[in-house]
Amino acid sequence: MNIGVLALQGDVREHLSALAECDALARPVRRPEELDAVDALVIPGGESTTMSNLAITFGLLEPIRKRIAGGMPVYGSCAGMIMLATTVLDGRPDQESFAGIDMTVRRNAFGRQVDSFEADVAIDDIPGDDFHAVFIRAPWVEEVGAEVSVLGHVTSGPAAGRIVAVRQGNLLATAFHPELTGDLRVHRYFVEIVRQSSAR
Ligand code: GLN
């Protein structure tokens, strides 16, 4: 079981080490051949407009869309969540996504002035305390289709109630960055999705 981390831009290294700590074989993916060699993909946080440009330049846009349509498990954090959305609000007009999760996300939704903030997030399916979540110019989810499970929302503060974690089949997305806080529960949850999908 090999998990790739899309390594065009963003916090690739943090995801690679979080996956390694979960005992998953993780490697960077920059080229279509590298995508062919993995069973699952993590799309890191970063800047979705840049990631979109680079995905086109590196010939990865269509191949990743195809793998998603074929059932490949994918986890996206923050910019990665935007890259997994079917509809992006406040995006750049030419911005592309891999789509996959039937949802509308708003970029930089928590306020353009506020670069980052922290809040508690409860996630269904992941037992234990609320996540202490770090949001960095993060999106939130404004609408989901019938196939999408809402897994998590902000529990307190000005953004309370906002949807920040979703799952559709093998696709998982969070608006926050568990790879930056050392809380491995989201990565473990994803590795379990990959295991179950490989076993099938
Ligand atoms: N605002 C960024 C974007 O639109 C996402 C920020 C992040 O990934 N931390 O892609």
Q: Is 78 a catalytic residue?
A: yes
> Residue 88 Cα, ligand 1 centroid: separation in angstroms?
12
CB 136 within 8 A of CB 115: yes
Ligand 1 pocket test target in 108, 113, 181 with most atoms within 8 Å of CB: 108
Q: How many angstroms separate the CA atoms of 200 and 47, rounded?
A: 34
Kindly name the residue from 14, 78, 96, 153 that is annotated as catalytic: 78
CA 179 to chain centre: 11
Instruction: Provide the token pair at 83.
Output: 């890259």
Among 4-13, 98-107, 149-158, the minimum mean pLDDT is found in: 149-158
Confidence at residue 168, expressed as pLDDT on a 0 to 100 scale: 98
pLDDT 10s digits, 84-127: 999 999 999 999 999 999 999 999 998 765 678 889 999 999 98
Confidence at residue 111, expressed as pLDDT on a 0 to 100 scale: 75
Q: How many angstroms separate the CA atoms of 197 and 109, rounded?
A: 32
Confidence at residue 158, expressed as pLDDT on a 0 to 100 scale: 83
Q: Is 22 a catalytic residue?
A: no
| Cα angle: 170, vertex 132, 89; to 5 degrees | 55
Confidence at residue 113, expressed as pLDDT on a 0 to 100 scale: 52
Confidence at residue 115, expressed as pLDDT on a 0 to 100 scale: 74
Instruction: Provide the token pair at 84.
Output: 């997994």
Whether ligand 1 lies within 6 angstroms of the CB of 50 is answered as no
Q: How many angstroms separate the CA atoms of 198 and 200, rounded?
A: 5
Every domain of the chain and the residues it spans: 2-199
pLDDT 10s digits, 54-72: 999 999 999 999 999 999 9
Q: How many angstroms separate the CA atoms of 44 and 35, rounded?
A: 15
pLDDT 10s digits, 159-198: 899 999 999 999 999 999 999 999 999 999 999 999 999 9
> Which CATH topology does 2-199 take?
Rossmann fold (3.40.50)
pLDDT 10s digits, 31-52: 999 999 999 999 999 999 999 9
Q: How many angstroms separate the CA atoms of 122 and 85, rounded?
A: 21
Whether ligand 1 lies within 6 angstroms of the CB of 137 is answered as yes
Using the atom order of ligand 1, give the atom closest to the CA of residue 50.
10
Neighbour-count burial for 61-85, b at 16+ CB within 10 Å, e otherwise:
bebbbebbeeebbbbbbbbbbbbbb
Of residues 107, 121, 124, 101, the one with CA closest to residue 172: 101
